């Protein structure tokens, strides 16, 4: 019997890599999932998840490779992949790394760049996708299908990816901060307050250059997903805010503006500026 399953390899089994692996593994008739994680202390054993011994071993077994490693590990991973990936599709979820950077390192490879967010943990991620110079529509469809298992997915131009980071990536941080400081019951958020947060995030998205349709989509889905995450995890908003706030990252830059009394538009601009600083040279 011919195995027609899509063979997907995930390099990196951190927060996002593990979520992707587990979501695809529960579709065993559609996906064969392989994982490589360099940290041997991480338990990557799970039903229907196969473990590769190293990066070359993983590449041999799959058609699509998802890069889910930390920025400091990215150069080493690309070096390990070089010369081994003819005909493979590369999907990168690495923040601040452009498709051109990957193409320069690996050659004329098909690359899709994706920016998921924290709500992937509950299947409500708002993921933005863009393609590199050599990727085609079938590649887009493949990546779109994968990330729809984690929530909703939106195709955007890569020139807007830093803006997406500031809105759908850092937006949950603004929402958790707003709820944290409003005194409202986060298990029972009034509809008027939900709409207020959507409106603020939509205006911020438009200020960063998103068209009306994309701004409304990102704002509504990011707001709803963030509130769903609060309810699903039953964690206080300040704890989830801390989870999405990396030191020196885009969310931290945006929250600093809000703490000083700035608007969501100003916060998003600060997050965008930080995203642009982080992507220089990448």
Q: Where are the domains of the chain?
A: 6-155, 163-279
Q: Is 70 annotated as a binding residue?
A: yes
Distance CA 243, CA 172 (A): 10
Query: Is the Cβ–Cβ distance between 150 and 127 less than 8 Å?
Result: yes
Secondary structure of residue 38 in the 3-state scheme: coil
- The pLDDT value recorded for residue 1 is 47
Least confident of 61-65, 71-75, 176-180: 71-75
Q: Is 36 annotated as a binding residue?
A: no
Q: Is 17 annotated as a binding residue?
A: no
Q: Is 219 annotated as a binding residue?
A: no
pLDDT category at 70 given cuts 50, 70, 90 is: confident
Q: Which residues pair with 49 in a beta bridge?
A: 33, 46
Q: Is 75 annotated as a binding residue?
A: no
Q: Is 71 annotated as a binding residue?
A: yes
Q: If one looks up domain 6-155 in CATH, what number appears?
A: 3.40.50.720
Q: What pLDDT, in 10s, does the model give residues 110-156?
A: 999 999 999 999 999 999 999 999 999 999 999 999 999 999 999 99
Burial track 236-249 (b if 16+ CB lie within 10 A, e otherwise): ebeebbebbbeeeb
Q: Is 16 annotated as a binding residue?
A: yes
Distance CA 205, CA 199 (A): 10
Burial track 115-143 (b if 16+ CB lie within 10 A, e otherwise): bbbbbbbbebbbbbbbbbeebeeebbebb
Q: What pLDDT, in 10s, does the model give residues 227-252?
A: 999 999 999 999 999 999 988 889 99
């Amino acid at each position: 019997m011919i195995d027609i399953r899509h063979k997907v390899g995930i390099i990196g089994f951190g927060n996002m890599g593990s979520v992707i692996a587990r979501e695809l593994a529960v579709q065993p008739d559609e996906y064969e999932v392989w994982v490589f994680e360099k940290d041997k202390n991480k338990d990557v054993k799970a039903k229907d998840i196969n473990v590769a011994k190293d990066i070359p071993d993983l590449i041999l077994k799959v058609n699509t490779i998802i890069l889910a490693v930390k920025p400091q590990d990215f150069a080493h991973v690309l070096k390990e992949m070089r010369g081994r990936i003819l005909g493979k599709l590369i999907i990168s979820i690495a923040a601040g790394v452009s498709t051109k950077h990957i193409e320069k390192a690996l050659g004329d490879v098909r690359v899709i760049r994706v920016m998921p967010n924290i709500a992937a943990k509950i299947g409500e991620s708002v993921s933005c996708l863009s393609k590199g110079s050599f990727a085609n529509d079938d590649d887009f469809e493949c990546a779109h299908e994968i990330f729809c298992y984690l929530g909703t997915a939106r195709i955007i131009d890569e020139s807007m990816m830093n803006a997406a980071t500031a809105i759908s990536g850092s937006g949950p941080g603004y929402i958790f901060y707003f709820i944290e400081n409003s005194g409202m019951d986060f298990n029972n958020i009034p509809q008027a307050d939900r709409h207020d947060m959507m409106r603020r995030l939509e205006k911020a998205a438009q200020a960063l250059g998103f068209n009306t349709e994309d701004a409304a989509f990102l704002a509504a889905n990011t707001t709803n997903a963030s509130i769903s995450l609060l309810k699903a995890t039953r964690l206080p908003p300040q704890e989830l805010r801390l989870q999405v706030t990396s030191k020196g990252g885009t969310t931290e830059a945006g929250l600093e503006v809000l703490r000083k009394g700035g608007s969501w538009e100003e916060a998003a601009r600060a997050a965008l500026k930080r995203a642009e600083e982080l992507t220089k040279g990448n």
